[in-house]
Structure 1
């Protein structure tokens, strides 16, 4: 590992130009930082938005109280959000979500049970449910019962019965194909799918 110093952002470099406490103009700052006036203006707008600078008049900036504190504490200004995203992501009402709800209610079920519970009348969901049950089975959430539900035809071996053995909560787990893992939002963790 190298002990290289972290790269200082444009915002930090611009803020440090105000260490003398005086007001500075865009052209003067652009010349001392060897950058364009537009870049200085854009960076100053960011610093104003965060409360580090104030605009005394068009094209002229002054250090604010928060900016003075940042300079004395030698704070590095980085890009990115100011805090966690407070808006909860809306969960989509998918077939797999409805099927998961059906599994949690029934505990023991067949594919036909889940299709009747979760069907929205749009298209066939047999292959989707079959893949989802296979993923849940490999992740240890669902097991196939030894006993089958009798089929309709006399020669039918019957329908597979599944049992939910790992109910972690109301939000359906999602298979992440790129990692081959099952992400469980209820546990906030990835569960491996054994082949």
Structure 2
């Protein structure tokens, strides 16, 4: 694409990333980009308009992630099962939801995960229990996962932490 447009690959990556953040393109697989429905409308009616990045919202107080984040900060060391009672009355608080949030936090350095020593007879990691420890505490507001950028946005520090 850089030969066709005459632009550098770095410039094209930056522009495509901005378009993805704005919700105008998706990346179905590495190196492939596709216009979303909003991208098609934009191209048809206003192709020269500047792209404004989406505002990243803070998690709502009382949401599953907010409650899990608060529990993580209090417990400091936990398993996913330890966090289930925190969100028991909330329909969105499943083991998978909490697990996905912990994996995101671990990828970005907020948590450190260690498999429990007594569980060494398990044949693979899928059946082993992982214990997490807080590695980075930045404040009371839970970080928000930004899928388009594969990063966490931390409202406490104002920075994006890439996985």
TM range (shorter): 0.5 to 0.7
2:111 corresponding residue in structure 1: 142
Aligned pairs for 1:121-160 within 5 A: 121-122=90-91, 125-148=94-117, 159-160=129-130
Cα offset for 1:121?
4.1
Contact 1:149 / 1:161 at 8 angstroms: preserved in 2?
Answer: no
1:25 corresponding residue in structure 2: none
Structure 1 residues 101 and 90 mapped into 2: Cα distance closer, same or farther (>3 Å)? Answer: closer
**For residues 47-91 of structure 1, what are the alpha-carbon distances to aligned partners after superposition, in whole Å with 9 as ceiling and x for unaligned?**
xxxxxxxxxxxxxxxxxxxxxxxxxxxxxxxxxxxxxxxxxx783
**For residues 72-118 of structure 1, what are the alpha-carbon distances to aligned partners after superposition, in whole Å with 9 as ceiling and x for unaligned?**
xxxxxxxxxxxxxxxxx783421111000000000000101111123
2:161 corresponding residue in structure 1: 191
Cα offset for 1:120?
2.3
Going by fraction, where is helix more abundant, 1 or 2?
A: 2
Greater relative CO, 1 or 2 (CA 8 Å, sep 6+): 2
The counterpart of 1:172, out of the listed 136, 142, 150, is: 142
1:182 paired with 2:152, answer yes
Q: Distance in 1 between matches of 2:151 and 2:59?
A: 22
RMSD: 2.2
1:161 paired with 2:134, answer no
The counterpart of 1:118, out of the listed 55, 62, 87, is: 87
Q: May I ask how many residue pairs the two structures share in their alignment?
A: 99
| Rg larger in structure | 1
**For residues 157-181 of structure 1, what are the alpha-carbon distances to aligned partners after superposition, in whole Å with 9 as ceiling and x for unaligned?**
7622110110111000000111111
Contact 2:60 / 2:66 at 8 angstroms: preserved in 1?
Answer: no
Q: Distance in 2 between matches of 1:138 and 1:105?
A: 21
Q: Tell me, which stretches of 5 or more residues in structure 1 are unaligned?
A: 1-88, 151-156
Going by fraction, where is strand more abundant, 1 or 2?
A: 2
User: TM-score, normalising length from structure 1?
Assistant: 0.46
Contact 1:148 / 1:161 at 8 angstroms: preserved in 2?
Answer: no
Secondary structure class of the residue paired with 2:148: coil
1:105 paired with 2:74, answer yes
1:94 paired with 2:49, answer no
